[in-house]
Amino acid sequence: MSKEEVLSYFYTNSSEYGVKRTLVILLCGLAVGMIIYLTYYISSEKIAYNRKFNWSLVIMHLITVIVMMMISSNIAVSLGMVGALSIVRFRTAVKDSRDTMFIFWAMAEGLCVSSQNWRLTFTSVLFIAVVLIASSKVPGIRNRYLLIVNGAGESIDRKLFEEKLKPYIVSFRVRTANKEADREEMICEVRTKGELDLDVLDELLSVPGIQSVNWVVESGETVG
């Protein structure tokens, strides 16, 4: 084949997207994107929820659909897009691995929508959404605390401290203990029968030698 025949083959063996067909594909892509949006919203911790990032998932999903439609509509354009996209570098650090997972999910669903494989698209997006929402509702580490006990002046009566704490706990372990001439500190890992309240702290503060008591909830991922 001559050069002209090869170029002619690239331009003539391409699919065309009309306005109606394009809108249908984009609307289906938007529906899939909203499923991703709702999944991220429901499964995320509301304190750490990032609304802008959530909407960026939807837009990135639609952009993926558009890029794949452009590549599949014209072979010559697809070669140019490969070269153009190869020089793009994104250096924004994604701190949460969970956000990276949603980015790849949005891109994968964009590829499914652009291929117009509707069964695969909606089956996969609904299945993954159910799995993510269900996994976010599975109880993790519950009723596990770090107790930080500080004493000053006299030594802490550890026996009385454990007796005061015993009615509320299932397990008890001292993880760190520091002692100086006029100061003492203990960090204890405890698993309680229920959630601790301020009455427990009041009882512990009545133990001779204890000046302050703090508790920190263990979430299983970060402490705090």
Does some domain include residue 152?
Answer: yes
125-129, 135-139, 188-192, 203-207: least confident range: 135-139
Same-domain pairing of 165 and 125: no
Mean confidence (pLDDT) of the chain: 78
Which of 92, 121, 137 marks a domain boundary? 137
Domain count, the chain: 2
- pLDDT exceeds 50 at position 49: yes
**Nearest-angstrom CA–CA distance, 206 and 174:** 20
Q: What's phi and psi for 14, nearest 5 deg? A: -135, 150
Predicted local confidence at residue 74, as pLDDT: 62
Identity of the residue numbered 9: Y
Distance CA 223, CA 141 (A): 11
Q: How far apart are CA 163 and CA 28, in angstroms?
A: 63
Q: Among 121, 137, 153, which residue terminates a domain?
A: 137
Which pLDDT tens digit goes with each residue over 156-196? Answer: 888 888 888 888 888 888 888 888 877 888 888 888 877 77
**126 and 160 housed in the same domain:** no
The verdict on 119 and 180 lying in the same domain is no
Confidence of residue 224 (pLDDT cuts 50, 70, 90): very low
Tell which of 137, 156, 188 closes a domain.
Answer: 137
Hey, how many other C-beta atoms are within 10 angstroms of the C-beta on 151?
Answer: 23
Domain of 201, in residue numbers: 144-217
pLDDT single digits (tens) 140-152: 555 778 888 888 7
Over residues 64-73, the mean pLDDT reads 79
Q: Using CA atoms, how far apart are residues 29 and 58, in angstroms rounded to an integer?
A: 9
| Predicted pLDDT at 207 | 85
Torsion of CA 54, 55, 61, 66, to 10 degrees: -170
Are both 69 and 148 inside the same structural domain? no
Helical spans, DSSP H, in 138-176: 158-165
Q: What are the structure tokens assigned to 140, written together? A: 């993790």
Q: What tokens does 157 get?
A: 């009566």
pLDDT at 114 over 50: yes
CATH number at residue 160: 3.30.70.260
